[in-house]
Amino acid sequence: MRRIGLFAAVMAVAMVGGVSFNALAYNWQGTWYYYNAEGAQVGKWTAGCGAADGRWGQTTENKRFVQGCAAES
């Protein structure tokens, strides 16, 4: 009986670890948008989105992250 409880505990930890890994793996896909002090966009950096990956402009502390890989419109 004790082995079954230990096995169940190990499996629960493994499942939570797997879910956490998947969440982290998809978390880095997206785009950072950079803005100047007046709020105008001065840069952009897309990562994890294949052909859409790239960066232009300048990076600033005033930034916003959009998760996921959306098609440009």
Is position 73 within any domain? no
Predicted TM-score of the model (pTM):
0.59
What's the distance, Cα to Cα, between the start and end of the chain in Å?
59
Per-residue confidence (pLDDT) for residue 27, from 0 to 100: 59
Is position 63 within any domain? yes
Would you give per-residue pLDDT tens digits along the chain (73 residues)? 677 777 777 777 766 655 555 555 555 799 999 999 999 999 999 999 988 899 999 999 999 999 988 766 4
Say which DSSP state 38 is in: T
Torsion of CA 51, 22, 70, 50, to 10 degrees: 0
Provide the residue range defining the domain that includes 10. 2-67
Is position 72 within any domain? no
Is position 52 within any domain? yes
Is position 46 within any domain? yes
Number of folded domains that form the chain:
1
Is position 13 within any domain? yes
Q: Which residue has the tokens 């052909």?
A: 51
